[in-house]
Amino acid sequence: MKDREPTDLPIEEIVSDLKANRAVRRKLPEGGRIHIDRQLPFLCLYRKPPHGADVGTKRLVESEASYITVMDGADLSPLVEAIAETMSEIFGGFLILELWALSPKNRNVDEEEAHRPLFRIRAQRPEELLSTVETLRTWLGRVSLHRLKAEVFIEKESPAPPFFEPILSREFLQRHSTHIVGLGVSPLYRDAAGETLFPLELYALRRGISKALKKAFFRFTVDMTRSCPTHYAMMGRRFVTKAVWEVDSALAEIEDAFDFLLQVTPVNTEEAWRRFRAEGFRGTPRFLYRPRPFDIARMKRRLFDIPVAKIEDPTLFELFGQKVVELDRKLTLLFDRDTPNFLYGSIPTYGRVEEDLLKTARRMLELLPHEKKDVEADAREDAVDAETFAKRAEEEIAYYKTFYPQMRSRVEIRDDIVAGAMVSGGNFLISRSAHFPKKRIEALLHHEIGTHVLTYTNGLAQPFRQLHTGLSGYDEMQEGIAVLSEYLSGGISKARLRVLAARVIAVHLLCEGRPFDEVFSVLREEYDFGEKSAFTITTRVFRGGGLTKDAVYLRGLIGIFDYLHEEGPLEPLFVGKIAAEHIPLIEELQYREILEKPPLWPRWLETPEAKRRLREIRESRLTLLDLIEKGYL
């Protein structure tokens, strides 16, 4: 919905829209604005001070589902009265929260205190709104900036800013069951003159303040109105502005313009293997890569032209802002491909190996039996070729299409990928030279199609394209779920777990500066991997110039176990391609009815055996090492 131009304050039209539960989004006189998503028992109010600049403050209310901003002395009290009267009749109670910037702190105070957030909650009779005010104080107290927790004070004073009279009279408030709470905020998001904005500080405060406001509005709604919401996130916005769709589309176009993993995957792996073996397993193989059919500098320019700052919703701003940073890093990685700089870009993108993860990987390799033979070569006697595997994969995709005919994924047999199989752009790619152990076929299909293809397809069904291209840092969660599917379906082998642990060891050695042939030798001689297996693991880690991504498989699996121990719900994991940190945000967007219910559910979660194993993990709090040590595998 586009903002309507202001006229002579069309109060009757606005009230009519609200009574019909239609969204209201209009420009108001002197540059103000009204945004009300739907019928809600609260309204946020900002009135620009009569003197001086006040940059940033009005954006603290623009995050909410119902707000009015008043600029340059415009008198909008008749409009606020009409809204309060209408909504109080509908809900049996109405709350106005007016927000303003406090005077800047005296810089002569202790430097730490000068940087600590400060909030002053004001109400004429706070005892009438005790639970609402206490909820607001509690959650504002959790806001932090520069690792400093906020100070919050409740003051029994006029809820209006010091430079204005209350927006509504006391008689009106009593007659219409309406309440006003004032909130003064220390303006740490701008300079003392009120003219220069500090965007990162504003974002950090806006996110925390918005959550506190929703918690308080929820408490007020439950205690003081006839409405009965079940979650505080239901107080948030449902209306998605045009700026969000523009940002989402622009980000997806950039990500769809290149396939990062294909671009950093060698095209001559088999030839490199033969040469490495002929040279006595010495030196570093010369890997060749696909041409980069795009202008990286131009793509970065497009990326940073995307107007993310126009997004009012702090949750969506966070999701899209993180994606900009990740795409910038990946484009830099592609520019630095096959150079020493690649590794230095990979570490901030995918992380390095933490000490606990390294200990777990080493312990797994101690517990699991060493393989004296080359597992991959030895397994070919009881394996299927790429064509046979592709037919089974097509059957699996056909199964999911019976539930969601719009699914558009396909199976391709390729000559130019190092992995036995992988998912790219929602399609299942199979290496023509690969062979797949019969015992592992179901697990592989659940990993690749039942997780990666499924979440891609579910993401396509959502309103935001980011959920199928992948939110920032989604790889770890995705791979953790995918490996979990192998275990729950009974198809994970000890050899498979050894490979996941070995990848962590290889990434650790890579980050220590060990060369290719030394990492290969460690895997072969210290951990008894076969020659081809050791080469494949090392190649995956050294591709592009040093890709630390392969540590995410084991890290993600451990993270999923932790999530299950905390009784985390499963549905948010399959909405699309998300990271663990996004689960609360995804749940919030579901409560706000912005995201749809995922159309597909993994087949591997439906079997009695999978349900039993999942229940064991949750109830017995089994860890990955427990599965190995106690013989669950």
Q: What pLDDT was estimated at residue 376?
A: 46
Q: Is the pLDDT of residue 424 over 70?
A: yes
Cβ atoms of 592 and 244 closer than 8 Å: no
pLDDT mean over 186-206:
93
What confidence category does residue 105 fall into, taking pLDDT thresholds of 50, 70 and 90? low
Q: Is the pLDDT of residue 137 over 90?
A: yes
Residue of 537, 471, 551 whose CA lies nearest to 508: 551
Q: What pLDDT was estimated at residue 378?
A: 46
SS3 (DSSP) at 213: helix
Distances (CA, A) of 435 to 383, 384, 421, 464, 512: 6, 5, 10, 37, 33
Rounded (5°) CA angle 46-48-50: 145
Q: What percent of the chain has pLDDT over 90?
A: 83
Q: What percent of the chain has pLDDT over 70?
A: 96
Amino acid, res. 404:
Y
The number of angstroms, rounded, from the C-alpha of 406 to the middle of its chain's C-alpha atoms is 25
The residue written with tokens 């069951």 in the block is: 177
**Residues 6+ away with beta carbon under 8 Å from 409:** 397, 426, 427, 428, 449, 453, 456, 457
Q: What pLDDT was estimated at residue 468?
A: 94
Written out in words, the top-level CATH class of the domain with range 11-238 is: alpha beta
Q: What pLDDT was estimated at residue 372?
A: 52
Q: What pLDDT was estimated at residue 632?
A: 76
Q: Give the DSSP H or E segment for 322.
A: helix 314-335
For the chain, what are the domain ranges?
11-238, 347-629
Residue of 314, 325, 323, 322 whose CA lies nearest to 588: 314
Tell me the pLDDT of the chain averaged across its residues.
92
The residue written with tokens 């030839």 in the block is: 271
Rounded Cα gap, residues 249 and 270, in angstroms: 38
What confidence category does residue 606 fall into, taking pLDDT thresholds of 50, 70 and 90? very high
Amino acid, res. 265:
T
Phi, psi (degrees; rounded to nearest 5) at 593: 65, 30
pLDDT mean over 518-525:
97
**Residues 6+ away with beta carbon under 8 Å from 156:** 122, 123, 124, 125, 126
15: number of CA atoms within 13 Å, CB side? Answer: 17
Distances (CA, A) of 517 to 110, 368, 506, 524, 547: 56, 24, 11, 10, 16
Rounded Cα gap, residues 260 and 510, in angstroms: 20
Q: What is the pLDDT of residues 467-504, one digit of tens each?
A: 999 999 999 999 999 999 999 998 888 889 999 999 99
Q: What pLDDT was estimated at residue 214?
A: 97
Q: What pLDDT was estimated at residue 109?
A: 65
Q: Is the pLDDT of residue 233 over 70?
A: yes
SS3 (DSSP) at 320: helix
Cβ atoms of 437 and 287 closer than 8 Å: no
